[in-house]
Amino acid sequence: MLLKFEQEDNEIFVLDATSGQGVAIQRWSVIRDFVHGANPERPLFYEQVVHRHLVGERTDAMIDKLEIFLKEAVGR
């Protein structure tokens, strides 16, 4: 999941699930160096990154549910 926060309007965040660290919110500026071909000096953690755009109305209720989901998922 890609996230954008008002306080960090020049950054995109990724909800990242790994077998070692569990679920975390990572800055794209950090992750992109570990994507295939982005930086030959770094180890390859991701062969590719794919995203799908969700079309829908961003209601207050939907944002509230998203915040609850993130609080429950991060760190697990």
What does the domain layout of the chain look like in residue ranges? 2-73
Does residue 68 surpass a pLDDT of 90? Answer: yes
pLDDT, tens digit, 9 for 90 and up, residues 8-34: 889 999 988 888 888 999 899 888 877
Cβ 38 vs Cβ 46: under 8 Å? no
The one-letter code for the residue type at 75 is: G
Does residue 43 surpass a pLDDT of 70? Answer: no
Cβ 3 vs Cβ 14: under 8 Å? yes
The one-letter code for the residue type at 9 is: D
Hey, is 65 helix, strand or coil?
helix
| Cα–Cα distance list, 38 to 6, 17, 50 (Å) | 27, 20, 15
pTM recorded for the entire structure = 0.70
